[in-house]
Amino acid sequence: MTQRPIITPRRSIWTWSVSALAGAAGLAVGHGFREPIVAETTLRVTLAASIALFALSRLLMLVPLSSLGPRLRRWWVDFVLMVAAGAWWVIDHSNERVILQVAAIYAVVTGASTAARAGIRRLTESGTDRPIASPVRWLFIAAAGVALAGGAVLCLPVCWAGPYPVQVDHPSTYCQLARHGLDCLFTATAAITGTGLATCDIGYQFSRLGHIVILLLMQIGGLAILITGTAVGWRLRQMIGWRGVDDDVSSAGLRRVIRFVCVAALVIELAGTAVVYRTWDGEIDPSFKAAPDRDELLAGVIEKVPLVAGRYDEARLLASLFHAVSAFCNVGLTLSRDSLIPYRHHVGLYAGLLPLMVLGSIGGPVVYELCRRLARRGGHGLRALSKDTSVTLLATLVLIVAGAGLLFAIESTTYWQLRYPRDDTPGRLMLPASQGADGSIVFSADGSDRARSERMRTMSPPQRLAAAVFHSITARTGGMHTARLDESSLSPASRLVLMAWMLIGGAVGGSAGGLRILVWVLLIVAITGCGTNAKEPRASARAATRQRAILSAVAVTASMFTLIGLTAFTLVYRQAGSLEAVAFEAVSACCNVGFSTPLTNQLSAQGRSVLILAMLLGRVLPLGILLRCTQGAPIASKIESRTEQPVPHPETTEDAPETEG
Tell me the pLDDT tens digit for each residue of 440-449. 333 444 556 7
In a domain, 211, yes or no: no
Task: With a cut of 90, say whether residue 221 has pLDDT above it.
Answer: yes
Who contacts 431 (Cβ-Cβ below 8 Å, separation ≥6)?
444, 446, 451, 484, 486, 488, 489, 598
Mean pLDDT of 285-306: 68
Please give the residue range of the domain that contains residue 24.
8-124
Instruction: Look at residue 296 in the predicted model and tell me its pLDDT.
Output: 64
Yes or no: say if 580 and 181 are a contact pair by the CB < 8 Å rule: no
Mean pLDDT of the chain: 81
Measured between alpha carbons, how far is 239 from 88 in angstroms, rounded to an integer?
Answer: 55
pLDDT at 29: 82
Give 434-476 pLDDT, tens digit per residue.
Answer: 444 443 333 444 556 777 888 888 889 999 999 999 999 999 9
The long-range contacts involving 645-649, CB below 8 angstroms and separated by at least 24 positions, are 649/245
Q: Give the pLDDT score at 567.
A: 95
143 vs 643 pLDDT, higher one: 143
pLDDT of amino acid 639: 38
- Contact between 501 and 595 under an 8 Å Cβ cutoff? The reply is no
pLDDT at 256 over 80: yes
SS3 301: helix
Whether residue 551 is predicted with pLDDT greater than 80 in this model: the reply is: yes
pLDDT (tens digit per residue) in 43-72: 888 888 888 888 888 787 777 766 667 777
Is residue 61 within 8 A of residue 71, CB to CB? The reply is yes
Residue 649 has pLDDT above 80, yes or no: no
**Most confident listed range (167-171, 212-216, 573-577):** 212-216
Distance CA 633, CA 309 (A): 54
Query: What pLDDT does residue 300 have?
Result: 59
Domain count for the chain: 1
Length of the chain: 661
- The H-or-E segment that residue 412 falls in is helix 387-412
* Position 68 in a domain: yes
pLDDT at residue 20, as a whole number: 84
Residue 174: predicted pLDDT: 84
Supply the pLDDT for residue 302: 61
- Residue 244 gets the label, from left (phi > 0), alpha (psi -120 to 50) or beta, of beta
> Taking CA 568 as the corner, what is the angle to CA 567 and CA 569, rounded to the nearest 5 degrees?
90
Residue 326 identity: S
By the 8 A CB rule, do 318 and 212 touch? yes
- Alpha-carbon span 334 to 285, nearest angstrom: 12
Instruction: Specify the DSSP class assigned to residue 647.
Output: P
Give yes or no for a contact between 322 and 328, defined as CB atoms under 8 angstroms apart. Answer: no
Q: In whole angstroms, what is the distance from residue 190 CA to residue 186 CA? A: 6
DSSP structure string for 153-212: HHTSGGGB-SS-S--TTSTTHHHHHHHHHHHHHHHHHHHHHT----SS-HHHHB-HHHHH
pLDDT greater at residue 312 or residue 122: 122
- Alpha helices, DSSP H, located in 276-380: 286-290, 299-304, 314-328, 347-362, 364-374
pLDDT of residue 641: 36
The pLDDT, as a whole number, for residue 30 is 81
Average pLDDT over every residue of 103-123: 83
Query: Is 21 part of a structural domain of the chain?
Result: yes
The whole-angstrom separation of Cα 203 and Cα 545 is: 49
416 pLDDT more than 70: yes
Inside any domain, residue 118? yes
Rounded percentage of the chain residues whose pLDDT exceeds 90: 33
**Average pLDDT for residues 558-577, to the nearest whole number?**
92
Q: Would 144 be classed as within a structural domain?
A: no
DSSP secondary structure string for all residues of 493-542: HHHHHHHHHHHH-S-TTSS--SS-HHHHHHHHHHHH-TT--TTS-TTSHH
Residue 268 lies in a domain: no
**Statement: residue 501 has pLDDT above 90:** yes
pLDDT at res. 489: 84
Which one-letter amino acid corresponds to residue 133? A
pLDDT the model gives residue 437: 41
Q: Lowest mean pLDDT of 366-370, 384-388, 610-614, name the range.
A: 384-388
Q: Give the residue, 11 or 308, on which the prediction is more confident.
A: 11
Q: Is residue 53 part of a domain?
A: yes
pLDDT bucket at 244, cuts 50 / 70 / 90: confident
Can you tell me the mean pLDDT for 399-415?
92
> Can the peptide bond before residue 598 be classed as cis, meaning omega within 30 degrees of 0?
yes
Most confident range, picked from 53-62, 281-290, 332-341: 332-341
The residue with greater pLDDT, 308 or 610, is 610
